[in-house]
Amino acid sequence: MMTTRQIVLEPMRRKHLKQILEIENQVYPRPWTHGVFTDEIAAARRAQRYYVVASIDGKVVGYAGIMLGVEEAHVTNIAIDPARQGGGIGSYLMHELCAVAVDCGCKSMSLEVRVSNKAAQALYAKFGFVPAGIRQRYYENSEDAIVMWCHDIDGDEYAAKLASLTGEDQ
Ligand SMILES: CC(C)(COP(=O)(O)OP(=O)(O)OC[C@H]1O[C@@H](n2cnc3c(N)ncnc32)[C@H](O)[C@@H]1OP(=O)(O)O)[C@@H](O)C(=O)NCCC(=O)NCCS
């Protein structure tokens, strides 16, 4: 059985992309391409993004990223190997993204999620995101997106919330 203590986090690199694309292609109907990931890794070098990879025993099990604005951070992608979903890795990565957004001085975070994606919505709610609107036909010009926001991440209350969700096994 896995514990989150076995998870190693490191910045996303091109060397991870083969394994990342294997996950990406399984979990999304419109997966990001190799080119999108390399563009995002380049943006991360300019400190406009942060992308992190989670590995267990040297194998990529998940990854996540965030776009860093002056006041706002936007979650761009989070995905876990289907064989590993439900084991806490998504929470571990979300904790890392939120902590980085706070460290970068952002005041709020936002994201879009499919109306049908209840697991992801529950994950985001755990980290303080609340639904704030709908983007109609956002995905494949067919499924609506729920826009979720998490405000006041620069305050003491959010720091306490993140501390209670340490990213470690409870
Ligand atoms: C969404 C996703 C990232 C969650 O990662 P995960 O490692 O499975 O999540 P965790 O095990 O840390 O669970 C986090 C929370 O999500 C919720 N959750 C997880 N699986 C769930 C499911 N099958 N149904 C409902 N809620 C679920 C729970 O609230 C859980 O918190 P809890 O365990 O404290 O109750 C993962 O399922 C995934 O990669 N999905 C495909 C890609 C995707 O949809 N990405 C998001 C795009 S917006």
Sequence letter at residue 115: V
Give residue limits of the domains in the chain.
4-164
87 lines ligand 1 (CB under 6 A): yes
The per-residue DSSP string of 2-70 comes to --GGG-EEEE--GGGHHHHHHHHHHH-SSPPPHHHHHHHHHHHHTTSEEEEEEEETTEEEEEEEEEE-S
Q: Residue 158 Cα, ligand 1 centroid: separation in angstroms?
A: 21
pLDDT at 168: 64
Q: What is the pLDDT of residues 107-162, one digit of tens each?
A: 999 999 999 999 999 999 999 999 999 999 999 899 999 999 999 999 999 999 99
Q: How far apart are CA 99 and CA 17, in angstroms?
A: 24
How much is the pLDDT for 3?
72
| Contact present, 21 and 81 (Cβ < 8 Å) | no
Distance 82 CA to ligand 1 centre (A): 10
Pocket of ligand 1 contains residue 119 by CB under 6 Å: yes
- Looking at the predicted structure, is the pLDDT value of residue 166 above 90? no
Ligand 1: does its nearest atom lie under 6 Å from the Cβ of 122?
yes
Whether 17 and 34 have beta carbons less than 8 Å apart is answered as: yes
90 lines ligand 1 (CB under 6 A): yes
Q: CB of 89 closer than 6 A to ligand 1?
A: yes
**Contact yes or no for 127/98 (Cβ under 8 A):** yes
pLDDT band at 170 (very low <50, low <70, confident <90, very high): very low
The pLDDT assigned to 1 comes to 60
Ligand 1 atom closest to residue 125's alpha carbon, by position in its atom list = 29
* Percentage of the chain exceeding pLDDT 90: 92
* Residues with catalytic roles: 112, 124
Closest C-alpha to ligand 1, atom 16: 123
Residues 55 and 71: beta-carbon distance below 8 Å? no
Q: Are 23 and 60 in contact (CB under 8 A)?
A: yes
| Whole-angstrom Cα Rg for the chain | 15
Mean pLDDT score, 18-30: 97
Give me the residues paired with residue 65 across strands. Answer: 51, 77
Mean pLDDT, the chain, whole residue set: 95
- What is the β-pairing status of strands 108-114 and 72-80? parallel
- For the stretch 104-122, pLDDT in tens is 999 999 999 999 999 999 9
Q: How far does residue 87's CA lie from ligand 1's centre (Å)?
A: 9
Superfamily of domain 4-164 in the CATH hierarchy: Gcn5-related N-acetyltransferase (GNAT) (3.40.630.30)
